[in-house]
Amino acid sequence: MNNFQRDCCELLAERFRNGKLDRRGFLTGLVALGAATVAAPGARAAGQELVVVNWGGDAIDAYSAAFAEAYEAATGNKLKIDGSGPLEGSMKTQFESNSVRWDVCDAEPYSAIRLGREGMMEKIDYSIVDRSKIEPGFDGEFYVPSYFYSNVITYDAARFGDDAPSTWGDFWNMEKYPGKRTLYKWMTGVLEAALLADGVAPAELYPLDVDRALAKIEVLKPHIVSFWSSGAESQQLLRDGEASMGLLWHTRANLTKQDTEGEVDWTFDQGLVSPSGWTVIKGNPAGLKAAMEFIALAQNPDNQVTLLNELGNGPANPAAHALVSEEMKPVDASSKENLERQIVLQAEWYADHYGTALDKYLALVSS
Amino acid sequence: MAARLNIHTIAMWLLPALFLAVYLAPLLGVFGWSVSRPEPGAENYVRMLTDADALNIMLRTARVCILVTGISVLLAYLMAYHWVFGSPARKLFMELCIFIPFWISVLIRAFGWVVILRNKGILNETLLSIGAITEPLTLVRTELSVILGMVHFLVPFAVFPIASVMRQIDSRVLLASRGMGANPAFTFWNVFLPLTIPGVLASVIIVFVFALGFFITPAILGGGKIVMIAEYIYIQMFQTSNWGFGAALSIGVLAVVAAMAGLLFRVIRPERLVK
């Protein structure tokens, strides 16, 4: 479901292998992703184990080897990384079979809300997690933002650079901006993009009119070369010119811009931004307190800035924005300036409607 | 002697017990989900047979599987013929064509097709450079490329049962036909082909059942646009957590597979094929 986190781990590992990232940067990036941690506040019973689940991939072995020892030295506790990915179905399975293996999950906020309502997730303990270190308005009952990412308009600048597209209306405008398009297979952001293109005002997006959005997507469908399902695929489509425009994660959009030396460009204008969320399944093995302490630890602004520098993920802690370099400011998805240009995806709506809407969306996509 | 008998008895019972534990029990669990989630009743099955979106995906799956099966079996028939009756050199060539794909993972083969078929891929670049086309053809991320990828994977599986049956044909029957004045075409249609029908049917069933379970190839070569039943079930289980509906769909697929297997045992004797 949240392929974005998986994508981040893949990117970090790739940069590390290519020598674009030193070991220290690699490890710090993993810390910020919740893939590893170097220090934890407070002492707990020695020998305890904390399992953090993310979307793993290549990075798992490297950070397990590098950080297990350091974490143990700092806290007396073992740290274990599970890269199997907290899909909603997987979290539900663990809860229902009474065999919860994960202490902290980096999951979609709407999954946390939905499972939370069904009584499967712990409420966030704000006496341990610091509310002031969360972007205002994003302090969820069942999740805390880990970082922000955005779904942005990415385009062939060699073709459209003189009069660049900046709205989803432009994205749907085949006469002014000819060429194939690519959209995200797992829907998030796509319905909003379609409604904005159809003239719905940003403030009136929610609740989403799914049928209207799908009708708008259907219009574009003959021009869609692919509904991408991995970050690498979305990048390839733009880099090879198979698509002249796409809805991409801003991290991949920015990488494509660097790879093509600006022949592909992107904008935060009308970007559809969302946090990823730390969440805890009820009955987690290390206990609620240990899980909350880990989340509090992950709020450290330094780590969050590292993550921005290495991957482009926007800090969840507003204090981090002040530490961002001039060079990285245009990429910072959650800075005040960039947030104002974007529209926030509403996790609550997705919690209520994700399943039914996705069924309809996939039916359209595959018809 | 008594001890040997005991071991023998235990071994006899072990297999069915294992079958019950690892196969039947989970299967009953899945069936249980399909009639109990979200509420007890046959609601999931009703939805499966009435929901237009689900029906569309099932229809697409059926269409792709039928096309893939038809093409695979036709190609396999030709390959099997050359493999069984060809010259030694041709036999060797056929063996390479059949066995080498077996050693390459399905994932690699799917990406291989992307490399060949994409806009800046080998095929388009070649056609452009010789001037056969002026604009790259859209080859990948279509139903066509999914079918191509699936056929590529499944042809070898279709070859074996056909070749096995062809090997068992008594060549004297064919000689007799020729001896009585039939021309080669008549002999093929009226003597050879009917004798190979059991192998063809076995191929059809094997390939169709395999095709039904395809997940990776359509996902990679379909550009997200070719959602088939296996992926749809995965989505119900992991993305939208509709376990009841996902379970009902699984049981539906299982029923189709079981019916095909039943047919296989009815119209042909499978043990003949592995002789």
Please report the ipTM that was assigned to this predicted complex. 0.82
Classify the phi-psi angles of A57: left when phi > 0, otherwise alpha if psi is within -120 to 50, otherwise beta.
Answer: left
Question: Which range is least confidently modeled, A82-96, A262-276, B205-219?
Answer: A82-96
Going by the DSSP 8-state scheme, the letter that residue A309 receives in this structure is: H
> Among residues of chain B, what percentage have pLDDT more than 70?
96
Predicted local confidence at residue A72, as pLDDT: 63
Q: What Cα–Cα distance (Å) separates residue B144 from each residue in A230, B40, B138, B139, B154? A: 22, 41, 10, 7, 15
CB-based contact, B53 to chain A, within 8 Å: yes
Which residue from A minimizes the CA distance to B60? A367
Going by the DSSP 8-state scheme, the letter that residue A136 receives in this structure is: T
Which residue from A minimizes the CA distance to B218? A366
Amino acid at B67: L
pTM of the entire predicted model: 0.85
Please state, in angstroms and rounded to a whole number, the distance separating the CA atoms of residues A95 and A92.
5
Query: pLDDT by residue (tens digit) across A84-137?
Result: 788 888 999 999 889 999 998 989 999 999 999 999 999 999 999 999 999 999
- Answer yes or no: is pLDDT of A58 > 80: no
CB-based contact, B119 to chain A, within 8 Å: yes
Q: Read off the pLDDT band of A74 (50, 70, 90).
A: low
Q: Do B119 and A362 touch (CB under 8 A)?
A: no
CB-based contact, B120 to chain A, within 8 Å: yes
Q: Are strands A245-249 and A224-228 parallel, antiparallel or unpaired?
A: unpaired
User: Among candidates B71, B69, B72, B51, which has minimal Cα distance to B61?
Assistant: B69
**Which one of B52, B118, B224 has the shortest CB-CB distance to A365?**
B224
CB-based contact, B242 to chain A, within 8 Å: yes
Predicted local confidence at residue A69, as pLDDT: 56
Best of B232, B237, B239 to disrupt the A interface (most A CBs within 10 Å) is: B239
pLDDT, mean over chain A: 87
**Which one of B52, B141, B226 has the shortest CB-CB distance to A366?**
B226
Best of A225, A233, A234, A244 to disrupt the B interface (most B CBs within 10 Å) is: A225
Q: Read off the pLDDT band of B234 (50, 70, 90).
A: very high
Predicted local confidence at residue A61, as pLDDT: 53
Classify the phi-psi angles of A174: left when phi > 0, otherwise alpha if psi is within -120 to 50, otherwise beta.
Answer: alpha
| Rounded to 5°, angle at Cα A95 from A90 and A96 | 95
- Answer yes or no: is pLDDT of A62 > 80: no
Q: Read off the pLDDT band of A6 (50, 70, 90).
A: confident
Contact status, residue B212 vs residue B61, Cβ threshold 8 Å: yes
Handedness of CA B105, B250, A218, A249 (dihedral sign): negative
Give A199's Cβ-side CA count (13 Å radius): 0
Query: pLDDT by residue (tens digit) across A158-193?
Result: 999 899 999 999 999 999 999 999 999 999 999 999
